[in-house]
A = this chain, B = another copy of it.
Amino acid sequence: MSTPKLFIPGPIDVSQATYAAMSRPMIGHRGSEFEALYASTQPVLQQLAGTSRPVFLSTSSAWGVMEAALRNLTQKKVLTLCNGAFSDKWLDVAKKCGKEAEKIQMEWGQAIDPEQVRAKLAEGGFDTVTFIHNETSTGVMSDVSAIAKVVKSFPDVLLIVDCVSSFSAVPLAMDELGIDVLLAGVQKAMALPPGLTIFAISPAALERAKASKDRGYYFDFLEFEKNAASNNTPSTPAISLIFGLQDMLQTIAAEGLENRFARHRSNNKMIHDWAARHNFQHFAPEGFRSVSLSCFHTPTDFDQSAFIKTLKTKHNFLINGGYGKIKGITFRISNMGNETTSTMQELIDAMDDVLG
């Protein structure tokens, strides 16, 4: 049996077109050819992020930039908004960076409550908030507008938003919402292999970073800003992945952003409809369900492990059996990236076949 096609929530299936782009002959990164490559990525990345600021390319996975955001911005105390495996982890990461940190802990499966954020920030002492837009572990998409509005009502508090699994699946409005750091991996809805993280920072974030004493070099926001001015990166970049990114951004522009967002919504609805037919219950409440992946409760009388295994061995499709403390009691299906009505239908037909 060949490698199964991935419908897990990242990394996901990568197209032959992307691999072909990634196989372009290697170039040096300190010349005009690389600068042109870098520059070519900016317009669509900016549109996707909703910013007029440069979008930086970090040779790392997303946790590198998540940690970087704390090292560059947190001088007093960070409030981590926690409602799943990845958002929860941000508290530990903050402490490992030697930062003072407190959290708001929602139950897994719930969205972040803006009013709790307001109450906590009103206690004072915070200068940074971390927020995950789309909790990949639970399939919950919190309301980024509402959270941003609350955080922005505290003028000295900067907002870090992880859009790892929402970027390019839904519209984002960094500048309009006043987000200070927006970051995303490329192995989710962007459908590239992992190894590259894109991020943008506000002028306020840049100012704050200037006063940070231990922000280091590799993830130094000032170094990214300085190098971006000449369409380059502080350290040797993942050139092949950037070739792939360039190609994907051309594909996204050709499809049209609104069409892309609509495609993610309709592919997502196909999974919702499939789940309704089989009476699978969403882990996320109505109104806060991710459009890039779906997370369902495992029914008590359902042999989830056998379902996933048979789907893989018989049909060569891989879905995910839950993450962290909800492993086994939930399962997740991705509809991110290049999927179409037709490829989603193939998955659905296969799942129906296994369910019998």
Contact = CB atoms under 8 A, between A and B. Distances in A.
Interface of A: 2-3, 5-6, 8, 10-14, 16, 19-20, 22-29, 33, 59-64, 67, 71, 92-93, 96-98, 185, 187, 193-196, 213-218, 220, 234-241, 318, 320
16 contacts: A3-B27, A8-B28, A10-B236, A11-B27, A14-B25, A19-B23, A28-B320, A59-B59, A61-B238, A67-B218, A96-B215, A96-B217, A97-B214, A193-B240, A214-B214, A240-B241
- Tell me how many chains of this kind the complex includes: 2
Given A22-B19, A216-B93, A220-B96, A238 B193 contact: yes
Nearest to A192: B240
A77 to B, nearest CB: 16
B22 A22 contact: yes
Contacts of A26: 3, 6, 11-14, 193
Contacts of A24: 3
A241 B26 CA distance: 14
Given A14-B25, A20-B23, A195-B196, 11 more contacts: A12-B26, A59-B60, A60-B218, A62-B235, A63-B218, A63-B234, A96-B220, A185-B236, A193-B238, A194-B237, A194-B239
